[in-house]
Amino acid sequence: MKWEVVIGLETHAQLSTVSKIFSGAPTAFGAAPNTQACGVDIALPGVLPVLNTGAVERAIRFGLAVGAKINSPSIFARKNYFYPDLPKGYQISQYELPIVEGGTLTVQVGDAERTVRLTRAHLEEDAGKSLHEDFHGQTGIDLNRAGTPLLEIVSEPDMRSAEEAVAYAKALHTLVRWIDVCDGNMQEGSFRCDANVSVRPQGSATLGTRREIKNLNSFRFLQQAIEYEVQWQIGEIEDGRAIQQATVLFDPDSGETRMMRTKEDAHDYRYFPDPDLLPLEVTAERLAAVRAAMPVLPQARREKFAAQYGLTVYDAGLLTASRELADYFDAAAVGADARTGKLCANWISGALSARLNEEGIDIAQSRVGASQLRGMVDRIADGTISGKMAKDVFDAMWAGGGDADQIIAAKGLKQISDSGELEKIVDQVLAENAQQMADFRAGKEKAFNSLVGQVMKVTRGKANPQQVNDILRRKLAG
């Protein structure tokens, strides 16, 4: 039987506010345990929550970015359960009326685009951390994280493969950083996903029973976990066993998912509206102010890049992996024609990105500035240097050797584009390589490359390759 995979994602994005969602304590990562938890965070008797407007603004920004409805009012509710790292015995979240409802996200899967529908996004507070090591059979509680603002973004079950789920998660990750609502740091847990996975016979209209894989904090784990889970579920069904609704954990070491709890042990969270917080109203003025401050979004930038420079969906996607990268490209390609623009795109996605990766730095820390890159691309476009020479120029720029023109002059890299001079050299090479000339005319295309190589050798790589090609073809044809 053919199986169809159905995946929906719930993503927790930590909002990049300086202080917590209901208290003034700082949200900075990595402080000594319990040094960033105030009375509200540790739930002293008598304390009360006060909503951080910065968190609300970020939620609205996200909602606008995905074309969602911003609910006014939205309601904060209490989700009641006991756990030592949940100081109040309830988590303040949004339940029946979230601040963000609906919306879509355009996702790139390979060279195609897909639209994933969003169900909702709601504001909530994070819990603290339970530390089970180093306490000799006891549990340590660190409440620094308690009260950290989260936006939980819930997708519809619109994804049909692990690859699509990862593409969605990446697009979401790009977007939340793009609009400055989340730093996207996955190691620190600022962006983590739960995946709801089910399978059904191809063509079936009803959904299969889902299992939820909790807390996936890397794209690789997301991919591996879903792939394992899908195979496991298909195996179960094919062996005649029904899937039981459950929450599972992914073990990166074994690459397997394992059961945490079934639906039967699910809590009754006894949600009810939090009487300590008023319904959250978003006025038209506030909405307009947030809208006015929105940056141009990745999708619009991609479309512009594609239209202006003829970039493929894939290339445009690479350049919009972050707002800084897109800005860099815009600065490099300013006023450029399609060919130069495409060259800029190739150099940014190619050599420059490779260098950044190698050194583990961001585009903002690039040692080759956008105008420097453009200076080099212009010399390629006007034939002054070849692509191969440009590689040397780029390396020299990266090493701090100045602008492209300075490096070209200093290294004598100028390519030979004088057709008279090149004609003479080609004639000379042909005269010395009668055998290859004969081979080529006998139909051996390889011989042509060898002749080009000879010309390059004589000119020590400085000959304009396009011109060499043209001249050779003409002479060989003659």
Binding status of residue 413 toward another protein by CB under 8 A:
no
**Signed CA dihedral, 422, 428, 434, 436: sign only:** negative
Q: How far is the CB of 42 from another protein (least distance, A)?
A: 6
Binding status of residue 270 toward another protein by CB under 8 A:
yes
Rounded Cα distance between 321 and 329, Å, is 11
Q: How many CB atoms lie within 10 A of CB 273?
A: 16
Binding status of residue 89 toward another protein by CB under 8 A:
yes
Q: Which of 30, 46, 137, 203 binds another protein (CB under 8 A)?
A: 46
| Candidate segments 169-177, 267-275, 291-299, 432-440, binder of another protein by CB under 8 A | 267-275
Q: How far is the CB of 139 from another protein (least distance, A)?
A: 8
Strand partners, 280: 74
Rounded Cα distance between 141 and 128, Å, is 7
**Signed CA dihedral, 377, 378, 381, 383: sign only:** negative
Residue among 128 and 208 whose Cβ is closer to another protein: 128
Q: Which of 13, 141, 195, 373 binds another protein (CB under 8 A)?
A: 141
Binding status of residue 275 toward another protein by CB under 8 A:
yes
* Helices assigned H by DSSP within 190-337: 219-238, 284-292, 298-309, 313-319, 323-332
**Signed CA dihedral, 307, 312, 316, 317: sign only:** positive
Binding status of residue 47 toward another protein by CB under 8 A:
yes
| Candidate segments 45-53, 151-159, 253-261, 459-467, binder of another protein by CB under 8 A | 45-53
Q: Which of 39, 73, 235, 453 binds another protein (CB under 8 A)?
A: 39
Specify the pairing of strand 211-216 against strand 246-251.
Answer: parallel
Rounded Cα distance between 56 and 151, Å, is 10
| Candidate segments 77-85, 225-233, 242-250, 465-473, binder of another protein by CB under 8 A | 77-85
Q: How far is the CB of 51 from another protein (least distance, A)?
A: 7
Radius of gyration of the chain (CA): 29
Binding status of residue 67 toward another protein by CB under 8 A:
no
Binding status of residue 73 toward another protein by CB under 8 A:
no
Q: How far is the CB of 303 from another protein (least distance, A)?
A: 43
| Candidate segments 269-277, 308-316, 354-362, 375-383, binder of another protein by CB under 8 A | 269-277
Binding status of residue 293 toward another protein by CB under 8 A:
no
Q: Which tokens in the block code for residue 292? A: 């006015």
Q: Which tokens in the block code for residue 127? A: 């819990």
Three-state SS for 109-158 is ECCEEEEEEEEEEEEEECCCEEECCCCCCCCEEECCCCCCEEEEEEECCC
Residue among 42 and 363 whose Cβ is closer to another protein: 42
Q: How far is the CB of 261 from another protein (least distance, A)?
A: 15
Binding status of residue 412 toward another protein by CB under 8 A:
no
Residue that the structure tokens 């909503």 belong to: 51
Q: Which DSSP symbol is given to 321?
A: S
The number of residues in the chain equals 478
Q: Which of 2, 30, 32, 45 binds another protein (CB under 8 A)?
A: 45
The residues in 155-194 that bind another protein, with binding defined as CB under 8 A, are none
Q: Give the interface with another protein as residue ranges (CB under 8 A).
A: 39, 42-51, 78, 80, 82, 84, 87-90, 139, 141, 268, 270-272, 275-278
